[in-house]
Structure 1
């Protein structure tokens, strides 16, 4: 099944959020995360690294003992900061921040080499190794993030200063990589440039960028494997590959033949997002089918209830179906950000709300858990259970997650809606205003509500003239019994591919009122997930809940919920910035003595459970946490 027409996210400038749930997070992102990231990039030398290539232009090689020694991925962190800061300017014009971005862009432009190449590490530190190890190093990955930064910078400010730089760089790379005479049939070990080139194509309309992205995707996994050819060219034995398998970077078979999500989770998500974008641009049925197979594999076998993915630290990624440990869950924040990228594109490609359901799950849970309420402390891994020692940090040896969080939060408006010539789709419920053209007319759609704490959502229509078009409102899979009225009259809310669909002649003043029933609900894992056998998770709307030890009168491992007992929800305006908590009667095992083992089962005593959204865990003092709780059958 397909959507009636292709959909695209609205431009950053077309959406304004004024939402009670999201606005505090977006303000913390603007006021605290962006300055904190910039300060760290200054402190570690990532910004000063753009001055080092000036020495290289003069023929001076910078020794590794220099006071600033770039890391191979520093360029990507700077680029993501530029992208996030640029998006922030759309909703909060800030002359000082604008000037700060301009300064960084100027330094980047100054570091670009005469042939268009741009990478601080391989220009200043190891110029002889430039473009010799795409399997392990990050040149094309860095280039991709720089391209994405340039696209957002241009969309937000109208400036072309960084766009001109990345177009030169893209043309240089397109001359290096390809199947023509003198070119290398290579592609990146860490995917990212593919989706970046597609974004560059959409903003410039230049098919050379579409063609280059298509080349990278078509070449991936082809035989002979480029990474083996590349290793031989630099004098290495391909069998010495540290990861042991090209599944690690999804290069084991061509992309259209892939059936299982394998390897490094972030790389996989970036790859699949690009595949979905190209499938939409080309109408490529085989590429779309591959995306749908991979999606089914992930969501049926390997996705955490929180929207996290990649249980293993050893490969920062996937292991085997149904392997979902809780206390050792890696679930990298960047992977859930990438999942949201992929899900948004799949929802637009197929018109199916099931993809937007997962996008919402990732955004409201693992993405938000990755940053503190204050906006200046972060998680790389997002476990579903902790003994209280897993805490947020201000910086990391590989600080990819904080600027990734910053850019997705700053561009959240792109995820709320999707638009096409004769349709407006509402994917997320957040108080906001969309201004766009539909059916040849200017539309302002205003959304109001208190989601996710309450399920009553109101949308009002303003038009320059009456117009006939379709409004699609997502009905989440958990929302049983949703109701919808238009101008006070009930209309059919039965989901069509996950959306209530209303096609009519709309006029200014028309109003839609959607009600999504919100009650606490219990969720159980597939029996093959051995780590969750006998356990239950709690959800409320899009939010997954957890228990933190400081809210309970019993140890979390000793506490259990009797099956069938009712749970209640209550909004607490004083807790964690204002959250709805879930409460209910529970029982706890009682310690009967000092013996490590006993022939007698433990006795129990009644207690109460208080659960908070997983999105806000670890924002108080150190304390144990669990998502999956024991359940007692009475």
Structure 2
């Protein structure tokens, strides 16, 4: 097998062509599952997939248009100001703005100057391959050149979050190198690393721990423990020359207080900042994939199970950005106390990366189930990023009525609404962290649906799309069609340059009892192993696979201590009740919910009919995520 990598391979295949090949050539792909003795599944490239889902495409176009609308001078302004250079152009404000007099107690702008720059360069590079738009590639490369003129330790010294910003710059430069063909990106990265080193702690420092004296508490919110993921990834790109980045990644693994106890099965999630510590689990996964550490794989697997046990029905987690101690009841209590239930674009980005890594390494379909749940019920329903920087930050699951309202139905409608309803709203902050992760997570829709290994294609997400790849001497194009999850059927149609044999691995969600599969109209055996069913045959042009994933309503309780408070599930989606008054309903009536039209359901509750919709259809209506199920 040749490991020669052409420019065309880089621009079309992205991570699968460059990172995967470099790992094997350099002998660094140590991550091998000890039980199966196989390497992790390969990611497909951004350019190998064409998505056709209107919802997914609309999110990509929204993010692309906002990023294109920001001027180079505006994006470089905080860098230039922080190193004492002239800074022409428009100051876009918000968190992105640099203010030397920033006071976290009273100022709404200036918290994290330039922090999203690297994420936006990353997103532009990913989108350039997805769309084939050369101007996006050129923009990413040009921004890196302009940023390179500002590289200075002074920038990191003035920065509340030197590790956080360094991490995002690593990601942007890495993606520009592998996807946009930026030949200077790795040199710029090395200059950045040397400039940052004097202002980094040298090892993982937990959040809220003081490591720079004489600073206010906001300077303890840095996230050095998330650094290893991208450091490992860029080291893999560089092959043998990446040893200094692999060593640095190892220095910042949060072992003593996080990964070591997690690997032993000790739940230490309680009281930790939700997004960043879940994101840190992606570092554990790269410590396994690149560094070969079984301990870190075990830590990530254990932590995922712990996280799932405190997740909402949507798959979201971390009310008020905090993970909770098992048995504390605080996740349930948050339904009545908080509207900040899940940090949506950031949390979804971390969650979907983590489940992608876990699925690739374990071949366990439950991680795909979790990814699908988070996609449909959280980030795919995020409000569009606005050109002025207003972003959708939190999903709101504020839906449990207070005890007095539940006991007294005569309470006013207004008080009930205040007690129980959620809504989709923009954050008060402009250009917050979620404005950086949203463009990245929507671009990653293109690489989350399929995975590869020699002789097998794994289908993870059921989204209308076309995948192109080679199997031996054959060129293959597979089109996925259907209206899943609105309907249960998925169709996979093959085009091949010549008949060729390989295994098609189809994820069968855990809720899909009675799933069936037909090949060219004939029933085929379906047996799911670890959540995937296998069809092995010699494929020809015109072959069609029809997968049916039966959906029926089910009830999902958040907290076993409160079995009456539950969400209504249908297939992979939560059905949100369009109501502000508390909804009290019998279990039988929940399970008898009927589809009332395209994308809408109806059920009969104690005080009348209630309509329900998926999160992607909520719009500006108020809703309940959780209802009261009795009897």
From the superposition, tell whether residues 143 and 525 of structure 1 become closer, same or farther in structure 2 (CA, over 3 Å). Answer: same
**Aligned equivalent of 1:582, options 573, 580, 601:** 601
**Other structure's SS at 2:127 match:** helix
- In structure 2, what is the Cα distance between the partners aligned to 1:458 and 1:3? 32
Structure 1 position 448 matched with structure 2 position 460: no
The range that moved more, 303-312 or 432-441, is 432-441
Q: Which residue of 1 aligns with 2:348?
A: 336
Structure 1 position 64 matched with structure 2 position 73: no
Q: Displacement, 1:629?
A: 0.9
Superposition map of 1:270-349 within 5 A: 270-299=279-308, 301-313=309-321, 316-321=322-327, 322-324=329-331, 325-327=334-336, 328=338, 329-333=340-344, 334-349=346-361
From the superposition, tell whether residues 91 and 214 of structure 1 become closer, same or farther in structure 2 (CA, over 3 Å). Answer: closer
- In structure 2, what is the Cα distance between the partners aligned to 1:155 and 1:523? 42
Q: Displacement, 1:169?
A: 2.9
Superposition map of 1:46-445 within 5 A: 47-52=76-81, 55=84, 64=100, 71=110, 73-94=112-133, 97-113=136-152, 117=153, 120=155, 122=157, 125=158, 137-170=160-193, 184-185=202-203, 190=223, 191-206=225-240, 207-208=242-243, 211-212=246-247, 214-216=249-251, 218=253, 220-222=254-256, 250=258, 256-257=263-264, 259-260=266-267, 261-262=269-270, 263-299=272-308, 301-313=309-321, 316-321=322-327, 322-324=329-331, 325-327=334-336, 328=338, 329-333=340-344, 334-372=346-384, 378-385=391-398, 387=418, 391-393=424-426, 396=429, 399-439=432-472, 441-445=474-478
Structure 1 position 508 matched with structure 2 position 509: no
From the superposition, tell whether residues 210 and 47 of structure 1 become closer, same or farther in structure 2 (CA, over 3 Å). Answer: closer
The range that moved more, 448-457 or 73-82, is 73-82
Q: Displacement, 1:429?
A: 0.5
Q: Which residue of 2 aligns with 1:243?
A: none
Structure 1 position 611 matched with structure 2 position 612: yes
Q: Displacement, 1:402?
A: 2.1
- In structure 2, what is the Cα distance between the partners aligned to 1:298 and 1:389? 23
**Aligned equivalent of 1:548, options 568, 578, 589:** 578
CA contact (8 A) 2:578 2:612 kept: yes
TM-score normalized by structure 2? Answer: 0.76
Q: Displacement, 1:414?
A: 0.8
**Other structure's SS at 1:399 match:** coil
**Other structure's SS at 1:509 match:** coil
Q: Which residue of 2 aligns with 1:482?
A: 515
- In structure 2, what is the Cα distance between the partners aligned to 1:63 and 1:281? 39
**Other structure's SS at 2:391 match:** coil
How many pairs are equivalent? 534
- In structure 1, what is the Cα distance between the partners aligned to 2:164 and 2:545? 44
From the superposition, tell whether residues 389 and 437 of structure 1 become closer, same or farther in structure 2 (CA, over 3 Å). Answer: closer
From the superposition, tell whether residues 52 and 257 of structure 1 become closer, same or farther in structure 2 (CA, over 3 Å). Answer: farther
TM-score normalized by structure 1? Answer: 0.76
From the superposition, tell whether residues 111 and 505 of structure 1 become closer, same or farther in structure 2 (CA, over 3 Å). Answer: same
Q: Displacement, 1:286?
A: 2.2
Q: Displacement, 1:106?
A: 2.4
For the aligned residue pairs, the C-alpha RMSD in angstroms reads: 3.3
Q: Displacement, 1:72?
A: 6.3
- In structure 2, what is the Cα distance between the partners aligned to 1:312 and 1:21? 28
From the superposition, tell whether residues 144 and 514 of structure 1 become closer, same or farther in structure 2 (CA, over 3 Å). Answer: same
From the superposition, tell whether residues 48 and 372 of structure 1 become closer, same or farther in structure 2 (CA, over 3 Å). Answer: closer
Q: Which residue of 2 aligns with 1:631?
A: 629
From the superposition, tell whether residues 185 and 24 of structure 1 become closer, same or farther in structure 2 (CA, over 3 Å). Answer: closer
- In structure 2, what is the Cα distance between the partners aligned to 1:194 and 1:147? 11
CA contact (8 A) 1:19 1:432 kept: yes
